Structure 1
Amino acid sequence: MLSFTTGAVQTMFQADGINGDINVSLWPLQNRILNFCGFQVLAPQIFWSPAHCPAAVCIQMLEGWRACLKGLVTEKHMTFAPCELFDLTFQGGFKLRPEVKEEQEPQPFGITVGHHLGKPLPPNNQTKAPSVSENGTFSRK
């Protein structure tokens, strides 16, 4: 699990904010480093600009952190596009299988931030754990 504070307010890490979408910033670290190395990645705990918050808000942040730590053993880990969705051959270019692309066509978002398929980025894909059904399809709640 990533836990960090920012020196910025949350709006600065949105798609139209000065720092850009936090999900895009997190994608390489969560998927290409942690997930690739075999870690089960938990959704990050982000504290927005605590240095600029009133003391009461900082106390709420610490209480949120305490609750998060207490629930670690039962927390659902994030999911990433499984290898089964890809043609894992040199001939296939290690790209999404054609039938997967076809299945994803009617969906409003891509599979992940990194696999956006030219569509809008999935909202909060890297900050909330999406659920995966038994047939391997993703749903974001």
Structure 2
Amino acid sequence: MQALYFSGSGALSVRETDRFTTSSPTDAAVEVPISMVALVATAVHNSLMEWQTGKRVAREFSALNCGDIYRTHVGILEQVKSTKPVFFHELMAGLYRDAHAAAALEVQVNSEESAFTLMDLSTFQ
């Protein structure tokens, strides 16, 4: 997500700041939009599908192949937003904060250990 939306001077997070808003009435921390998280989750799903046989078989990442999966991810996130609004806000604001901070520092993630150090899991139970 960081590489896709937050890296470089032309990044979406730099050009389209109005897309990052808050769903919380009491916390102004901005969130990653549902559509962005759903797209990244769908890309991960597609990558996993390429390896489902144990060997990589290329699979086109397209609306035809992945549209239903994308809509499912959107639906799940919308349901979390409506049923657990505080958790939803903390999750999405945390994703924004972590991706934005990593981009600002130009952090290199080249191992599981370096990726894990970027995550702040202290607020999740």
Q: TM-score, normalised by structure 2?
A: 0.29
State the TM-score, normalized to the length of structure 1.
0.27
The higher radius of gyration belongs to 1
Q: Which has the higher helix share?
A: 2
